Amino acid sequence: MTNRALPVQALLVVDVQADAVRGDRAVPEADRLVERTAELIARARKDGALVVHVQNDGQPGAGDEPGTPGWELHHTVEDSPTEAVIRKLRDDGFHGTPLGGLLRDSGVRALAICGVMSEMCVQATARTALELGYRVVMPHDAHATHDIPAAPGISGPVPAAVVSRVAEWALGSDLEVLAHAADVEFAAPGPQDG
Residues designated catalytic: 121
How far is 21 from 6, CA to CA, in rounded Å? 29
Query: Is residue 53 a contact partner of residue 16, using CB atoms and an 8 Å limit?
Result: yes
How far is 48 from 15, CA to CA, in rounded Å? 22
Query: Is residue 72 a contact partner of residue 109, using CB atoms and an 8 Å limit?
Result: no
Query: Minimal CA–CA distance to 110: which of 92, 91, 132, 78?
Result: 132
How far is 148 from 68, CA to CA, in rounded Å? 26
Query: Is residue 84 a contact partner of residue 53, using CB atoms and an 8 Å limit?
Result: yes
First-last CA distance in the chain: 32
In 10 A of CB 143, how many CB atoms? 28
